[in-house]
Amino acid sequence: MQSFPYIITISSEKGGVGKTTLATNLAIYLKAMREDLPVTIFSFDNHFTVDRMFELKGQRLAGNVHDMLMGAQANQVVQTGQYGVGYIPSSTELGDINERFKGPMTLTRMLAESGISGIVIIDTRPDLNILTQNALYAADRVLIPVKDMPSLENCRNIFSLFEQRGIDKKSLALIPCLIDERIKFEGVFKDQKTLLRAFAANRGYRCLDTYISKSPKVESLNTNPDGKIYPILTHARGTDVHGQFAEISREILNCYDATPESRACLYYTWLSEKEGKKKESYLARLEGLAERCLICGALLSEQPEGRGFYYETSDRSARGFLHSACFTDMLCATLYGMTSDSRTFDAARLVIADKAGKSVSLLAAKDGNRPEMLDYRQFNTSGEQIFQKDIDLAGFSEGDLEGNNGKLYLLLNESLTGYEGRLRSDAWLAVHPVDPSDPDAVLHEDRYRAVQNVQRQISAAIL
Ligand SMILES: Nc1ncnc2c1ncn2[C@@H]1O[C@H](COP(=O)(O)OP(=O)(O)OP(=O)(O)O)[C@@H](O)[C@H]1O
Ligand SMILES: [Mg+2]
Ligand SMILES: [Zn+2]
């Protein structure tokens, strides 16, 4: 069975509020409290705190956060680090990725498809750039450390991002951090955390029950002769902060246990359903196709090679593929009266083939009252008309399939012919060039939408 991660994002636009301290230590506590739970952490920061905390000496690295964002399978770049926590090494090169990372759900998809299970913790930079936004949208839980009024005011942007995208704000929670217990106030709000809580509640922001105290011991864990950063769990056991982290971790684990399907899982399911629907409509499109090339009459299942054009009538009653050679030869004969015994045939044919391969052909009855004339036009890919010629259909309704127009008549016969062998005036036929190495691709969702666009433009052009 496929596994999906439960994602926790630590975010705040304010710097130095304790995001990284929270992210890294939370990872360690979660792992310590539940040994069999995979816990993975990475950071969009370039401070390398994650690396300094989790890397094992002499470890060979398979890649970093940059590689993951560029498309490397995420579980391939996860390293098993200290304390059993998995980490993705940090990168200094995320600045320019920022520019290229356009979609808001890209990270969600990457993590959903990563094969990583358990809990993933994402530490973000103190801004709301596109990477942070991606981390926010991917998250089952967002923890926002706040230490003072300015950092509390800053939360507004995160909340309004969620509002804009219509995401449930239940996943967002503030956590008072760096709380100095020595500071006491007169009056109703007797201390920092009570004050922050009250202001948060007043703005409709949810707070965790727990807060994190400011502790000189914790602060000192960053500064060591060996350049390492020590965890609170092992090096600050006696502090209040230790108990507070244990409490936060318990709450997170409760939420994790109460979430049968994480956001990544739901998004993945939604994506696959969408893909499934795309596939269904593709198969449906394949189904209504003519079995033969209308011009040479060959079964396309027997001669699939060389299909270079897709045709469709405006009412979609006739659809199918034509061989490149068949359609080009038809144009040579119909437009220029050239057949293969003409002296300049080969050279001219190349030019005609090239032009046809770059344009969409329209075939329609010329005006309602003159159905014995054909209106032939070519449009470029942006739907502008680049060529027009009237073609006399003498002999067509009598069933004369010989002569210069023989190939044209064969094509019209099974696509645009109505009563008494006359051209229908209520529909027209368009012939689109396709990639001969993969003609069926024209029926895939995106390409087919482009075909329909051109059909619409033609429809507007001939009104
Ligand atoms: N509970 C705490 N008690 C005392 N000092 C703390 C505590 N938590 C974090 N600090 C210190 O506060 C400083 C900022 O912490 P941290 O790096 O975690 O913040 P940040 O929000 O990640 O910062 P940035 O926005 O720059 O990434 C660090 O020096 C850290 O050691
Ligand atoms: Mg940080
Ligand atoms: Zn053919």
Q: Supply 112's token pair.
A: 């959903």
User: Which residue minimizes the CA distance to atom 14 of ligand 1?
Assistant: 16
User: Which residue minimizes the CA distance to atom 16 of ligand 1?
Assistant: 18
- Better pLDDT: 183 or 133: 133
- Ligand whose nearest atom lies closest to the CA of 306: 3
Q: Sorting pLDDT into bands at 50, 70 and 90, what band is 246?
A: very high
| Gap between the Cα atoms of 219 and 215, Å rounded | 6
Backbone angles phi, psi at 377, to 5 degrees: -135, 155
CA–centroid distance, 320 to ligand 2, in Å, is 58
453's CB contacts (< 8 A; 6+ apart) are 383
- Ligand whose nearest atom lies closest to the CA of 229: 1
222 lines ligand 1 (CB under 6 A): yes
Helix/strand/coil percentages in the chain, nearest 5: 45, 15, 40
Strand-pair partners of 433: 309
| Gap between the Cα atoms of 131 and 355, Å rounded | 45
Residue 370, pLDDT score: 64
Contact 98, 129 (CB under 8 A): yes
Q: Which amino acid is at 167?
A: I
Backbone angles phi, psi at 61, to 5 degrees: -95, 140
217 lines ligand 1 (CB under 6 A): no
Q: Sorting pLDDT into bands at 50, 70 and 90, what band is 344?
A: confident
**First-residue to last-residue Cα distance in the chain:** 55
Q: Which pLDDT tens digit goes with each residue over 157-170?
A: 999 999 888 888 89
Residue 371, pLDDT score: 58
CA–centroid distance, 409 to ligand 1, in Å, is 79
pLDDT reading at 369 higher than 90 = no
Residue 1, pLDDT score: 60
Contact 291, 300 (CB under 8 A): yes
- Mean pLDDT, residues 199-207: 89
Q: Which pLDDT tens digit goes with each residue over 78-104?
A: 999 999 999 999 999 888 887 677 788
| Gap between the Cα atoms of 266 and 111, Å rounded | 12
Q: Sorting pLDDT into bands at 50, 70 and 90, what band is 21?
A: very high
- Mean pLDDT, residues 23-38: 97
Q: Which pLDDT tens digit goes with each residue over 345-368?
A: 888 899 999 999 999 999 999 876
Q: Which amino acid is at 94?
A: L
What stretches of 298-394 show up as alpha helix (H) in DSSP?
Answer: 324-336, 345-356
Q: Which pLDDT tens digit goes with each residue over 133-148?
A: 999 999 999 999 999 9
Residue 42, pLDDT score: 98
Q: Sorting pLDDT into bands at 50, 70 and 90, what band is 335?
A: very high
19 lines ligand 1 (CB under 6 A): yes
Residue 372, pLDDT score: 84
pLDDT reading at 428 higher than 60 = yes
Q: Which pLDDT tens digit goes with each residue over 204-233?
A: 899 999 999 999 999 999 888 888 899 999
CA–centroid distance, 210 to ligand 1, in Å, is 17
Q: Which atom of ligand 1 is nearest to the CA of 14?
A: 25
User: Which residue minimizes the CA distance to atom 25 of ligand 1?
Assistant: 15
Question: Ligand 1: which of 13, 14, 20, 45 to mutate, most ligand atoms within 8 Å of CB?
Answer: 20
Contact 314, 307 (CB under 8 A): no
* pTM, entire model: 0.72
> Of 12, 20, 14, which is closest to residue 43 (Cα–Cα)?
20
User: Which residue minimizes the CA distance to atom 8 of ligand 1?
Assistant: 18
- Mean pLDDT, residues 111-128: 95
243 lines ligand 1 (CB under 6 A): no
| Gap between the Cα atoms of 45 and 20, Å rounded | 9
Q: Is CATH 2.40.50.140 what the domain over 6-272 is classified as, yes or no?
A: no
75 lines ligand 1 (CB under 6 A): no
Q: Which of 116-120, 162-166, 236-240, 316-320 has the lowest mean pLDDT?
A: 162-166
The domain limits of the chain are: 6-272, 290-461
Average pLDDT, the chain: 91
SS3 343: coil
| Gap between the Cα atoms of 373 and 364, Å rounded | 9
pLDDT reading at 404 higher than 60 = yes
CA–centroid distance, 298 to ligand 3, in Å, is 6
For residues 227, 233, 237, 239, the Cα torsion angle rounded to the nearest 10 degrees is: 90
241 lines ligand 1 (CB under 6 A): yes
- Mean pLDDT, residues 370-397: 88
Residue 132, pLDDT score: 95
Question: Ligand 1: which of 219, 230, 232, 244 to mutate, most ligand atoms within 8 Å of CB?
Answer: 219
Residue 189, pLDDT score: 80
| Gap between the Cα atoms of 54 and 56, Å rounded | 6
Q: Sorting pLDDT into bands at 50, 70 and 90, what band is 25?
A: very high
Count of Cβ atoms closer than 10 Å to residue 78 Cβ: 23
Residue 125, pLDDT score: 95
Q: Which atom of ligand 1 is nearest to the CA of 215?
A: 3
